[in-house]
Amino acid sequence: MNVSEALIERKSVRAFLPKLVNREDIEKILSFARHAPSGTNTQPWHVAVVTGDTKSELESELLAAFQNGATKDMDYLYYPTEFSREMKQRRLACGLQMYQTLGIQRGENEKRLAQWGLNYSAFGAPVMLFIFAPRCIEKGSFMDCGMFIQSILLMATELGFSTCAQAALAEYPSIVRHKLGYSDDMLLLCGIALGYEDKSAPINSYRTPREEISKFTKFF
């Protein structure tokens, strides 16, 4: 598989098989992803690989926080406080596409909450990757970490794995830091679900559309 094929093949998977991922494969993914660019080669990222009993315990704590109405307190603002018209339209269409695929109707709030709760188990993937960075970083380093995260997703795709980059896994950073032994000096940027796609699951059957390059490009 080449880069162009991986870019097209990659998608956000939200239902995984219970099949385990070998540590050697995780190390291979990270070994290639570490070549992502970063300003002045700062390489600000840090990865926590969470599996087995630790994953089970952590996902239980995260789900409990969600179900008990704990305040979501991400270390940074992921979304803008005010969306542009185009971004808002795409966001609403994305959510509608997912719920229509699942047969969840508007107003079925319990079903929607149950579906959202699956975020905290990484949708059943056997591996959670948590991406951290030192709290001292500024916006440029967020771009660096984004390129590193994309490198993980593409390399995983090449090796036959599926992924889902998840802001939801960073909604309760204090729980994650405490469980994994990280200090408050480390920002939690996001999580990544890693495993094998359950191709029989309806939620994995749809693909979100992308704009044509003419919509976001000008040539001078």
User: What is the domain count for the chain?
Assistant: 1
Share of the chain above pLDDT 90, in %: 99
Q: What share of the chain is helix, strand, coil (3-state, %, to 5)?
A: 50, 15, 35
Q: Quick one: average pLDDT of 94-113?
A: 92
**How do strand 162-166 and strand 186-195 relate by DSSP bridges?**
antiparallel
Average pLDDT along the chain: 97
**How confident is the model at residue 23, as a pLDDT?**
98
Extract the tokens encoding 185.
């000096």
**How confident is the model at residue 169, as a pLDDT?**
98
**How confident is the model at residue 202, as a pLDDT?**
95
Extract the tokens encoding 99.
């719920």
pLDDT tens for 187-204 read 999 999 999 999 999 999
Q: Across 55-195, where does the E strand assignment appear?
A: 127-134, 162-166, 186-195
Q: What angle do CA 149, 90, 220 make, to 5 degrees?
A: 75
List CB contacts of 179: < 8 A, sequence separation 6 or more: 54, 57, 58, 61
Give the CATH number for residue 117. 3.40.109.10
Q: Quick one: average pLDDT of 166-181?
A: 98
Range(s) of the domain holding residue 195? 3-216
pLDDT tens for 53-75 read 999 999 999 999 999 999 999 99
Long-range contacts of 178-182 (CB under 8 A, 24+ apart): 179/54, 179/57, 179/58, 179/61, 180/48, 180/50, 180/54, 180/58, 180/130, 182/48, 182/132
